[in-house]
Chain A
Amino acid sequence: MTQSAGNTTLDYGRERARMRIASKYIPLLATASVVVILYVYGCAAYGPRFASLRVLVDLFKDNAFLGVAAIGATFVILSGGIDLSVGAVVAFTSILIAAFCEHHGVNCDYLRRSPDAAVAFYRYRHLATHHLHPLLAIGVSLVLGSLFGALQGCIIHFYRQPPFLVTLAGMFFARGMGFVIHPQSLGIKQPFYIAFLNDIKIPLVAGVDIPFTVMCLAVVFLVALFIAHYTRFGRAVYAIGDDEQSATLMGLPAGRTKIMVYTLAGFTSALAGVVYTFYMQSGDPASCIGFELDAIAAVVIGGTLLSGGVGFVGGTAMGVLILGLIQNLIIFNGKLNSWWTRIAVGLLVLVFIAIQNVVTAASRRTTRAAAG
């Protein structure tokens, strides 16, 4: 009797299991299909010029630093949190590096206007005036970014503050500090930088080659995949995002994991800032306003649930591509005026979320039908 009871329930479970495993990947496939649809549509609508390899490479080139930041954001969102400080940290890092590299650091009459800023500034000024080697500058900024993330994580964990709030404050803070370091955009004329951009690249065909920034993105992506699926930390992130209380009772270091997640996000944001400097050869404290929302949109379009616990790094990568494709299509169209551009972007984002919900819901139904 025992046996039979056991078996019946179990067989029942087994049957459904197959469905579940499949359904788990459905949002991912939905996203993938959207990417394909968009690209094919573009090719069809704008002919060989859109279909060209260059456009494809540019797609990655132009979204490299968004990609890096979004991948970091993915972990935060998987852990059930959110990070609004991304854009500000990118801007901060970019201007910090620029200030480090270019010793003509600061226009000072602006500092006279704000004594508090001056006080805060003197430390940086000192560093900035001995213009550091770019690699050192990059190192420093990455460390700063990580520390900043860690700080946010600590406040979130130890004081039980909502991530939305803490990172929002973090956003204001980083944004402001960026302006403290240098009040306006600053070009980087470092030979080292120029070299970086020109020499390190993989040529594909004439005039088209994969630049360093894209390589960075690729590396970050692979590392992220590994972390997410092949490390205890990665699994802990999923677990905590899914059910924090249980995760804690199961002996997972919830606190440490969370803090690490935000540290990681801080690091990737800073890294995105570095990639930004490679990409722009400049730093700008006013850049990337609202960038965090792009990152979040990419993650969500990529099929990760804002509630946490469910999602994939790969999905995020596709989400980034979708955002990039939207931009490209609009530019190729070339007829939308400023406000229609905004409306279009908004609506397209909505459309993709809608498509996703539809497909996912459809799959759920099939699963249930099959299960019953």
Chain B
Amino acid sequence: MPDQLLQMQGISKRFPGVLALDRVDFTLRRGQIHGLMGENGAGKSTLVKTLTGVHRRDAGTVLLDGQPIDPRSPKQAEALGISTVYQEVNLIPHLSVAENICLGREPTRFGRICWRAVSQRAEAAISRLDLHIDVSKELSSCSIAIQQMVAIARALDIDARLLILDEPTSSLDENESQELFGVMRKLRDQGLGIIFITHFLDQVYEVSDHITVLRDGRLVGEYETASLQRVDLVSRMIGKDFSQIEAARHAPPTASATTAPHKEKFVQVSALTRQGSIAPIDITIARGETVGLAGLLGSGRTETARLLFGIDKPDSGSITVDGQLVSISSPRQAIRLGFAFTPENRKVEGIIPHLSVRENIILAIQANKGIWAALSRAEQLRIADSFITALGIKTPSPEQAVANLSGGNQQKVLLARWLANHPRLFILDEPTRGIDVGAKAEIEKLIASLCAEGMAILFISSELEEVVRDCQRVVVLRDRAKVGEFTGDQISEHAIMQTIARHEHEA
């Protein structure tokens, strides 16, 4: 039985308006990969941040190798051998890869940075992940996946005793995740303790030895991964009886299977292309149909959505709506056509953080009505309340600033914003990214019902099982080009994987 690396006891943390952590205990042993599971707002990230010195804990003790520690800043935490990789890539876009790896600890001679040493060190750190990148290039020119790897390389660059991975795979495709797991195992065998936070159940079961579950800022329990049934895990995470979710999961296919065929075409995209983002692509979406865009990260899914919603201008190709040829050069035009779009990057491109839930919800309607025809406050409240209840948005009041809500609820607010606008085509880019199982189920259910009401939906997700479950038609992309399309019964994870993989081999 390996000895204790980290012991956290009775950790509490209060933020204005919410008790984020309530007397949480957590233990990590050497050479252990420890999954930390829980819904959004369960307190995973907060727990980690108290450990890495981003937040100060209000109560509790932390022992690292039996020594009590109290890091006041990430730097101190690093000095103690605790290093972290956060969910969103936290690096400096305009600096080189090498600099991002060594930033703040560049090897210096008489206070002068010697760049050769920097790049050597970066090379070393990168190669530790079996990656081969030109470390001199600007980070912003790398794919998100690469950036994530760079972040990990940076975390390993200091001789860490304890590595924290907060949603590291949320932006990685299958292969890259596998590479990452390989690295994780290697590190575990070297005796590192690894805290692994994720929403992907498969991944927890694949790599972690232990699982600790949090809910609503409290500890639910710690379990041997092997001895914990998925069903139990999920029900512990969301504190609900599992059957509900099962129901939610089974609903969509039945609902859509019947409605899938004989729908008249609604949106028809032909030979739509933009240099450097997507090769000519054809997609047709019918009313009451959910079309999935499947493919690895960076395969052109988001790019397609952006073109369709008028954020980027296509170089060529055409879009017809109800047989009418249309040109979409801005989101406004797209919205006028009855399109709606929830972007992948919720915080940056979705919510208006300091505005209230109410204002966020009515924003799209109002934008559509224009400046002069303003909704009355009463009207706004009515709309807001109806959606808050309809989608079960957890908020103290419609006047709460959206920034204070958890990720899942922010996502729901975004959905509400668009549903209030009664779109005819709803483009959902990773609607379930970084959201807990419960909310995922609810959102999938919602999609199904919208689809049943006759809304056309373009569904983008990196979780194949979701795509398979929710879509009646799946367009497979790879390397910024369409490589296949499935409908109805042809759709299966296996088939899609095959399509992607086959092309990879040819490439």
Contacts and interface: CB of A to CB of B under 8 A. Distances in A.
Interface of A: 1-2, 4-6, 8-10, 12-14, 16-21, 24, 226, 230-232, 235-236, 238-239, 242-243, 245-253, 309-310, 368-369, 371-372
Contact of A251 (B73, B108, B179, B277): B73
Interface stretch (B84-92, B323-331, B450-458, B459-467): B84-92
B504 A251 contact: no
Which 7 residue pairs across A and B have the least CB separation, nearest first? A372-B276, A17-B137, A372-B275, A251-B75, A246-B90, A251-B74, A20-B138
B133 A13 contact: yes
Provide the main secondary structure of the chain A interface. Answer: helix
Given A13-B141, A13-B142, A232-B108, A250 B91 contact: yes
B275 A249 contact: no
Contacts of A8: 479, 507
Contacts of A230: 112-113
B94 A242 contact: yes
Nearest to B138: A20
B141 A17 contact: yes
B92 A2 contact: no
Contacts of B277: 372
A238 B94 contact: yes
B141 A231 contact: no
A6 B131 contact: yes
18 contacts: A1-B505, A2-B175, A5-B296, A6-B131, A9-B146, A9-B298, A13-B142, A14-B134, A231-B111, A235-B103, A238-B92, A238-B94, A242-B93, A248-B74, A251-B78, A251-B104, A309-B94, A369-B275
Interface string B115-138: 000000000000000011110111
A252 B104 contact: yes
B501 interface: yes
A249 B91 CA distance: 9
A5 B104 contact: no
B7 interface: no
Given A13-B141, A243-B92, A250-B91, A21 B136 contact: yes
A343 B409 CA distance: 53
A182 B137 CA distance: 54
B178 interface: yes
Given A1-B501, A9-B298, A238-B94, A250 B141 contact: no
A239 B103 contact: yes
B99 interface: yes
A2 B113 contact: no
Interface residues of B, number: 53
A10 B132 CA distance: 8
Contacts of A2: 175, 178-179
Contact of A24 (B138, B143, B154): B138
Contacts of A5: 173, 175-176, 296, 504
Contacts of B285: none
A253 B507 contact: no
Contacts of B106: 232, 235
Contact of B275 (A4, A309, A310, A368): A368
B104 A250 contact: yes
Contact of A368 (B103, B137, B276): B276
A17 B136 contact: yes
B145 to A, nearest CB: 7
Contacts of B75: 251-253
B95 interface: yes
B490 interface: no
A231 B114 CA distance: 9
A17 B140 CA distance: 9
B348 to A, nearest CB: 12
A11 to B, nearest CB: 10
A310 B134 contact: no
B127 to A, nearest CB: 13
Contacts of B311: none
Contacts of A9: 143, 145-146, 298
B74 A250 contact: yes
Nearest to A249: B90
A268 B275 CA distance: 47
Contacts of A235: 95, 99, 103, 106, 113
Interface in B165-181: 173, 175-176, 178-179
A249 B175 contact: no
A239 B507 contact: no
Contact of B146 (A10, A236, A242): A10
Given A20-B137, A232-B104, A250 B154 contact: yes
B391 interface: no
Contacts of A246: 90-92
Contact of A1 (B54, B146, B175): B175
Contacts of B132: 6, 10
Contacts of A369: 275-276
A310 B276 contact: no
B276 A17 contact: no
A236 B113 CA distance: 12
Nearest to B74: A251
A20 B276 contact: no
A12 B142 CA distance: 9
A231 to B, nearest CB: 6
Contacts of A248: 54, 74
B54 A249 contact: yes
Contacts of A245: 90
Contacts of B507: 4, 8
A12 B277 CA distance: 12
B462 to A, nearest CB: 14
A24 B86 CA distance: 27
A265 to B, nearest CB: 20
